[in-house]
Amino acid sequence: MARVTVEDCLEHVENRFELVMLSTKRARQLATGGKEPLVPVENDKPTVVALREIAEGLMSYEFIANAEIVEDEPLFAAFEDESNEAV
């Protein structure tokens, strides 16, 4: 198991605050089972896997945002009637 450092991750994000927000969202996706990891899990916790994905340049806000949009689309369909207008 390779150790992940903040410096490794900061090469791929703007600052530490963005790193915290991005890793939190990704770890939550992994922990709830909604998304597959992009790196081998190697018996690591979701937070470590999220940081490893960021350090390897595999995770970005665009990736997270696209995943959230796709997940939310079916929810809106339940509030529309057949004429495609809000109920």
Write down the domain spans for the chain.
6-60
Question: Which pTM does this prediction carry?
Answer: 0.71
Q: Which of 84, 83, 27, 31 is nearest to 54 (CA)?
A: 27
On whether the CB atoms of residues 59 and 53 are closer than 8 A, the answer is: yes
Is CATH 1.20.1560.10 the right assignment for the domain spanning 6-60? Answer: no
Q: What are the tens digits of pLDDT across the range 29-76?
A: 999 987 899 999 989 999 999 999 999 999 888 887 777 655 544 545
